[in-house]
Structure formats: C-alpha cells, structure tokens
Amino acid sequence: MWRLCRQHHPDYQAKILMQGAHSRGIPYLQLLPFQRLWQYGWGKNGRVFFESVSTSESLVGGRLAGRKQFAKAVFEALGAPVVPHVLVDGEQDLEEAARRISWPCVVKPTDRDRSEGVTLRVTDMSGLRKAFHFARKYSAAPVMIERHIPGDVHRILVVRGKVAWVIRRDAPHVIGDGVRTLADLVEDRNAAIAAAQRPGAFVGETPLDEDFHAELRRQAVDLADIVPAGRRINLRKVPLMVTGAFYANVTDDAHPDIVRMAEFLADAFGFSICGIDFMTDDISRSYIEQGAVIEINTTPALRVPVMTGVAPEAVGSLVLGDEPGRIPVTLILCDQALHADLHAVVPIQPDSGWVIGGRCGVGNTPFAAPADAADRPNALPFEQTLQVLRNPRAARIVIICDPKPIVAHGLPVDRCDDIICYGSMPDPSWRRVLERHSSRYSEVTALDELAAALAG
C-alpha cells in the first residue's frame, strides 16, 4: 500500500517546499503523474523542482558534481582544499592506493550520494578489499580511496549566492553518566527517538547491527560496560539521519573564509541552490588552517536545517525564492452553446492562456486535445486548465466553462481574480461559493455587459 501511495504522494523535499509555498499563498501542482516533479506557481510565474533542485540549475555543473573526481578537480582548480585521493578500477590497484594514501582511509563510489557504499576509517588491506567490494555493490564506476581526516561533516547550504545555514552532522552517540551501562544508554536513546516518531519523521533509531558492534569494538567498549561520566561513545561510523545522527546549527560559528569559499564554489558550478560538505573539527577556523571540501550536492536535503529547529515553512520559502507566484485567472460561466459567441468578445493576448469550448492554448497557439476528450467532457476543463497553468508562456488565463462540471467537481483553481456568470445565474448557495473564491464576482446577461466586465 505504501509503495502505491508513494507514486502520488510528494517526497519529503517537496513537502517542505509545499509548506513554504502554502505559507505564502503560492499554488503548486504536479508536473507529471507518478514523478517527483512539482511546479510551484502558475504559467510564467511557475518554477519546476525535482526534490530541492529546479530546472534552472546548470546542466554542466550537475554533470561535474555527479562525479566526485570531477568535482574535486574543480575544487582544486579554484583553490579550495581537498583530501588526497586516488581512483581504482579493480582489486589489483588497492595495494598501490594504500601506499599512496596511507591509513586510515575512506572508500566510496564516485557517482553515488547519501553515503551509499561508503566505508570510513579503513585501517588494513583486509578492510580495504572489503570496502572496495562494498562500494562495487552500488556502482560500476571507479572507486575513490581518500585519506581520512579527523573532524565532523558540515553541510553548508547555499541559496542564491549566499550561505543560508551551516549544519554540523555528528555520528549517533551517547554520553556516559558513570551509573548506567552502555546497553542502558543506547536503549534509552532509541526509546526516546521511537516515542518522538511521527508520520514523515526523519530520524531513525540506531540499529544494533554489525556496524554498531564494529564501532564499539573500535572504541574497546562493550554493551555491559558502565560508561564513565562525560565519555562519548559513538554508535556508528557514518552519521546518517536514518540511523540516529545528531544535527547542530553552527551557522554563526562558521569562519568567514569558509562562508565565502562555499559561495564562490556554488557560483562556479552554476548552482543557485546546493549543499557543500566540508570536513573539519573546528568550523570557526579558516580552511587555510585545516579542513577540506568533500563534495557538492545538487539536491541538498532540506530536512537538515529543519532537524536543528528551523521551521520547514522558512526553509521551503527561502529555497523557492521570489519568482514562483500566481497569474491572473478569469472564469466565465455560461452554457456551452454560447462558448463560440464569446471568441469575438473575450480578448486573447499573445501571452494569454485560454480554455474555451473544449479547446485550450496560449495566444495563437492551440494545444492538441487528448484522444479520449470526447469521452470525458466533464473532466476536460480541469485538465485543460492544468495544461495552460503548466505553460511558461502564459501570463494570464481565461477559462470559459459550462456551469455543470463546476457544480459537479468544483472550481478549476483554488481562487480566481474574476468570476463572471453570463446568461443563466447560479443558485444562491453557489453564488456564495463563487463570491468567496474570487476577488471580483459579477453577473451579466448581454455581450456588451460581458465586455464591460472584462474591461473593468
């Protein structure tokens, strides 16, 4: 059931954008069925997003960012610090890679994100071979082996040339109190996460799997141990949200050099919105002193700042920017037999979208009618309205519709600038609905009155 529902339900990125749009009265609609493409705003004021990236982002930048070796080459060309790394195509290259990089090292696929196939702190050849084959499960592309550097991953979210947030991502961990065992601390932590879970929640409990036990062995601790007060025990190598990572907003602590670097990297890749991962154990120190850029993400997770307490409406609104918005909508209700007569009266400008008499288009350009249009006369006005609202050339839209499908299914949009009833008048209950969902409502009985209402 959940799999089927997800074909229609927005993903969490779209949900945050929708919350931002709703807070500002911006309409949104699905661009294509069963796809994660959503349009915010209408017509020429519409902007299409996939997750958190819009169709206006750089294609070249996206190609560079999608291959970690290319992205690192751009970082280096621009003077940003990177971690020493090599690429390997097969197991026969691992010993030479280990000699060049040294221990410990990090192994990752070059064309995956969200930490898929990543192994941290590899310390010997046996672990390196295992990590290489783990990366190969996710991709046939070259595998990157890079030197491990100490510190925390900081997600720097850049929006339209300015750093919006710097979020430190910590591995899931517990702090000892000198009284409880490690097992008790982990159980209490997972219980608190489970109790706070809500539909659509982001943070998951830390599973007690092999990765968990391996991390405990690395720190020479056991679940039965009483953890000394103040001692931190990490529960996993990789800090992932689904396994209980911590997130902290450190925007105010970020060194100005790091902020400026993130902004010029976003510009260099041609991204108005992106997430840059920077590794350091002190975000307040310049990247000249320490730290390295790990990667740049074209679809940064908008839930990251939300996890630190930023309102999702604020995140979604900032990412959407000032461009998405409405276009003027005029709805004329009249009997279908009168639709043809209105072509001579209703002004259609080159940038006007129109839905009239079973046809639709923008300006002088008509749109092709669906093959089964004749079989669905009541649904047609609504589908055609969506076609026009999706068109980036439409600066306004005029909809001429028989009242019957409106009474049966509702208005084609949530709100109109003008609603004009021509000819037959609606009953009082529907008159109240039309008045409530329009800025201006009028009733006319003659063509000259209709022309005056449209002009006014």
Mean pLDDT of 178-195: 91
Q: Is the pLDDT of residue 249 over 90?
A: yes
Q: CB under 8 Å to 208, separation ≥6 — which residues?
A: 186
- The β-bridge partners of 442 are 420
**pLDDT tens-digit series, residues 282-337:** 999 999 999 999 999 999 989 899 988 899 999 999 999 999 999 999 999 988 88
Statement: the pTM of the whole predicted model exceeds 0.85: yes
The whole-angstrom separation of Cα 402 and Cα 412 is 12
Query: Regarding predicted confidence, which is higher, 113 or 48?
Result: 48
The whole-angstrom separation of Cα 21 and Cα 392 is 18
**pLDDT tens-digit series, residues 21-31:** 999 999 999 98
Mean pLDDT of 36-56: 94
CB-based contact 203:256 (threshold 8 Å): no
Sheet holding 352-356, edge to edge: 365-366, 359-362, 352-356, 396-401, 329-333, 416-422, 438-444
Mean pLDDT of 47-63: 92
CA geometry: angle at 280 spanning 279 and 282, to 5°? Answer: 150
Domain spanning 329-455, CATH class: alpha beta
H helices present in 78-181, as ranges:
94-101, 125-136
**pLDDT tens-digit series, residues 295-307:** 999 999 898 999 8
Amino acid identity for residue 42 in this structure? W
Cα within 13 Å of Cα(136), Cβ side: 11
Domains of the chain, residue spans: 2-54, 84-148, 172-244, 329-455
Mean pLDDT of 57-67: 91
Q: Which of 289, 247, 243, 296 is nearest to 274 (CA)?
A: 296
Q: CB under 8 Å to 376, separation ≥6 — which residues?
A: 370, 383
pLDDT of residue 200: 52
Buried b / exposed e over 366-377, threshold 16 CB at 10 Å, is: ebeeeeeeeeee
**pLDDT tens-digit series, residues 354-398:** 998 778 999 989 888 776 665 665 567 888 999 999 999 999 999
Q: Is the pLDDT of residue 201 over 60?
A: no
CB-based contact 266:158 (threshold 8 Å): yes
CATH number of this structure's domain 84-148: 3.30.1490.20
DSSP states of 243-304 as a string? Answer: GT-EEEE-GGGS-HHHHHHHHHHHHHHT-SEEEEEEEES-TTS-TTTS-EEEEEESS--THH
Cα within 13 Å of Cα(35), Cβ side: 11
- The position carrying tokens 């702090």 is 175
Q: What proportion of the chain, given as a percentage, has pLDDT over 70? A: 96
Query: Regarding predicted confidence, which is higher, 34 or 158?
Result: 158
Mean pLDDT of 34-45: 92
197 secondary structure, DSSP code = -
First-to-last alpha carbon distance for the chain, in angstroms, is: 51
Asked whether the domain spanning 329-455 has the same topology as the one spanning 84-148, the reply is no
**pLDDT tens-digit series, residues 252-269:** 999 999 999 999 999 999
H helices present in 46-145, as ranges:
59-65, 68-77, 94-101, 125-136
